[in-house]
Amino acid sequence: MALPHPKLLPPVFFPPRNRPTQPSPILPLPGNPALRHLKHESFSQLQASAKDESLSTVITELEEQGDHSSQTAEDDLLPRNRQPEHRLSERWREIHGLGDWAGLLDPMDPLLRSELIRYGELAQACYDAFDYDRFSRHCGSCKYNHRHFFSNLGMPDAGYEITRYIYATSSFKIPNFFASSRRPRTWSDRANWIGYVAVSSDKGSARLGRRDIVVAWRGTVTRLEWIADLMDYLRPVAAAGIPCRDSGVKVESGFLELYTGKDPGCLFCKFSAREQVLAEVRKQVELYKNSGEEVSVTMTGHSLGSALAMLSAYDVAETGVSGGSPVCVFSFSGPRVGNGKWKERFEVGVKALRVVNVHDSVPKVPGIFFNERVPEAVRRMAESLPWSYSHVGVELALDHKLSPFLKETGDPSCYHNLEAHLHLLDGYHGRGQRFVLASGRDPALVNKACDFLEDHHLVPPFWRQDENKGMIRAADGRWVQPDRPKIDDHSQDTHHHLRLIGLLRDH
């Protein structure tokens, strides 16, 4: 599968928020690459039901406004955005964090922006493929077989092939994360699908300049009650079996339990999420390194998925499963994970770039009072407390109030929404710079699972829906839920790779 090459379209200037505005629909254009997020059925209906003249987007209209009203301000941005893009294959180590992204964030490097959006879309796919329907016998699983995952999501050119699904179980009750069916007979009583491991295809690797192993983690959906329910106290990583000689290296206990918890009686959770990831990453690293290829390991996740991405990246580096390959995390709206000593140890072997919305509450917890922002002396004194946390890596702070598309709202789940973060990335050029869409990514995607776009754009909130909520008409005329192919469980060589890592347990 070919990996889509990010197109840097001419920038679109947006006048200030208080400009007079006419209602302007922003239905997706048929040729817009962002439509890879739409199901094919929905797209065909859209083509059949809308006339060409009604499909002009607000992007086009505001581009015309900018040409007439603010050409001088727009010209300030044209030279940088219209420069030829350097090949990713030549710069991938820099984009992957070799220099801690020094000089790439302000002003924003166009290639880094496109890569951040791409990895964010791989994380977003975890939401789009998850079965939340409590009336479905498959609630809590992935809707699609891993062989057809990206094509079923309208992303046939993702450039990756999924090699393994990841499942998790937990004794914690996490609202809007662990979903369970109301049916008496279900695929699993304890497990939830939590993400996937994917490897770049041959064509994708040629563009990337290396074989990229991606681990994408699912986060929570909308409500944020999990913050209080899951976050409790710091616990040494060594207590959960993660290698670390320093008992002072601690992470949040709820994240750790979710990452390492397992149920020997469950087909899908007889291995912990940790064991599933380590076995698969080791397998793929060994396969491609033995073939003489350069390999990278990239973790991505949003919200709670960001915390799991941080934990797994640390684990992959600390156990040596990466085989010396660079390990990087592209995190979106993630909470703090561990204490100051965790930060120090984490940054020895892992690079992390955290994308946050400054108005989002999740990146501010846990550790509201004792964190990386307090004076060093105070942080050192509070290090022994169970509520002292530190963010890791480099932060890229965005502000949703700078986008003319997004409305003022008191709903914190909108500030936290992943599609909103990707929209903000698309328009970000640096601190103090105007909001200018760089890739033509459709702003309508913001309202897929929230109500954050200005009403005058006429994009309905929560518009992404399965046709007929997954119901089909059977031969006898009744409406039923269709049977699904066998749900992917664990590959038979998992024991082999865990034994080589030294993590073999009786399952």
- The model's confidence at residue 448, banded by pLDDT at 50, 70 and 90, is very high
Q: What is the pLDDT of residue 174?
A: 62
What is the predicted pLDDT for the residue at 374? Answer: 73
Q: Which pLDDT score, from 0 to 100, does residue 200 have?
A: 98
What are the residues facing 466 on neighbouring strands? none
17-31, 271-285, 347-361: lowest mean pLDDT where? 17-31
CA 244 to CA 46: how far, in whole Å?
A: 54
Q: In one letter, which amino acid is 207?
A: R
Identify the pLDDT of residue 77. 38
β-bridge mates for residue 68, sequence order: none
**SS3 at position 278:** helix
pLDDT above 50: residue 145 = yes
Q: State how beta strands 192-200 and 160-168 pair.
A: antiparallel
DSSP helix/strand/coil, 391: coil
Q: Return the ∠ at Cα 337 (arms to 336 and 342), rounded to 5°.
A: 115
Q: Domains plus CATH for the chain?
A: 12-501 (3.40.50.1820)
Cα separation, 237 vs 242, in Å, equals 6
pLDDT in tens, 410-437: 899 999 999 999 999 999 999 999 999 9
Is 11's pLDDT higher than 60?
no
Pairwise pLDDT comparison (487 vs 337), residue with the higher score: 337
Span 70-86, average pLDDT: 39
Q: Please report, rounded to a whole number, the percentage of residues in the chain having pLDDT higher than 90.
A: 55
Catalytic choice (96, 138, 400, 416): 416
pLDDT at 386 over 60: yes
Does residue 327 contact residue 350 with C-beta atoms inside 8 Å? yes
Q: pLDDT over 70 for what percent of the chain?
A: 77
Q: What is the pLDDT of residues 237-289, one digit of tens each?
A: 999 989 898 989 999 988 998 999 998 888 888 999 999 999 999 999 999 99
Q: How far is CA 497 from CA 92, 276, 279, 378, 443, in A?
A: 29, 10, 5, 44, 43
255 HSE (CA, 13 A, CB side): 28
Is residue 490 annotated as a catalytic residue, yes or no?
Answer: no
Q: How many Cα atoms within 13 Å fall on the side-chain side of residue 245?
A: 0
State pLDDT tens for residues 470-482: 888 999 999 988 8
Average pLDDT of the residues in 211-230: 76
Alpha helices for 104-201 (secondary structure H) = 110-128, 149-152
- Are 18 and 175 in contact, with CB atoms under 8 Å apart? no
Residue 19 has pLDDT above 70, yes or no: no
Please tell me the predicted confidence (pLDDT) of residue 367. 82
Q: Kindly state the average pLDDT of the residues 26-47.
A: 39
Taking a C-beta distance cutoff of 8 angstroms, is the pair 282, 321 a contact?
yes
Tell me the three state secondary structure of residue 173: coil
pLDDT for 440 equals 83
pLDDT above 80 (res 218) = yes
Predicted pLDDT at 82: 40
Rounded to two decimals, the pTM is 0.81
pLDDT exceeds 50 at position 359: yes
Active site residue 188: no
Band (pLDDT 50/70/90 cuts) for residue 206 is very high
* Predicted local confidence at residue 39, as pLDDT: 39
Mean pLDDT of 304-325: 96
For range 298-320, the mean pLDDT: 96
Residue 198 DSSP SS3: strand
Q: What is the distance between the alpha carbons of residues 500 and 248, in angstroms, rounded to a whole number?
A: 28
Residue 136 phi, psi (nearest 5)? -90, 140
> Phi and psi of 403, rounded to 5°?
-85, 130
pLDDT grade for 9, boundaries at 50, 70 and 90: very low
* Mean pLDDT confidence for 2-14: 42
pLDDT of residue 22: 37
- Catalytic residue, chosen from 131, 133, 360, 442, is 360
What is each CA distance from 195 to 220, 305, 347, in whole angstroms?
12, 9, 24
Long-range CB contact pairs, 284-292, < 8 A, 24+: 284/163, 284/197, 284/199, 284/213, 285/213, 285/321, 285/322, 285/323, 285/325, 286/323, 288/199, 288/211, 289/323, 289/325
Question: What integer best gives the mean pLDDT of the chain?
Answer: 81
Task: Tell me if residue 455 is catalytic.
Answer: no
Please identify which of the residues 170, 253, 303, 390 carries the catalytic annotation: 303
Per DSSP, the three-state class of 119 is helix
Higher pLDDT, residue 26 or 362: 362
| Cβ proximity of 223 and 176 under 8 Å | yes
Residues making up the chain, counted from first to last: 507
3-state SS class at 181? coil
Radius of gyration of the chain (CA): 23
Query: Which candidate, 282, 265, 87, places its Cα nearest to that of 191?
Result: 265
Q: What's the rounded Cα separation, in Å, for the pair 360 and 345?
A: 27
Least confident of 143-157, 177-191, 360-374, 458-472: 177-191
d(CA 168, CA 301) in angstroms, rounded, equals 15
Beta-carbon contacts of 455 under 8 Å, excluding residues fewer than 6 positions away, are: 407
- Res 499 pLDDT > 50: yes
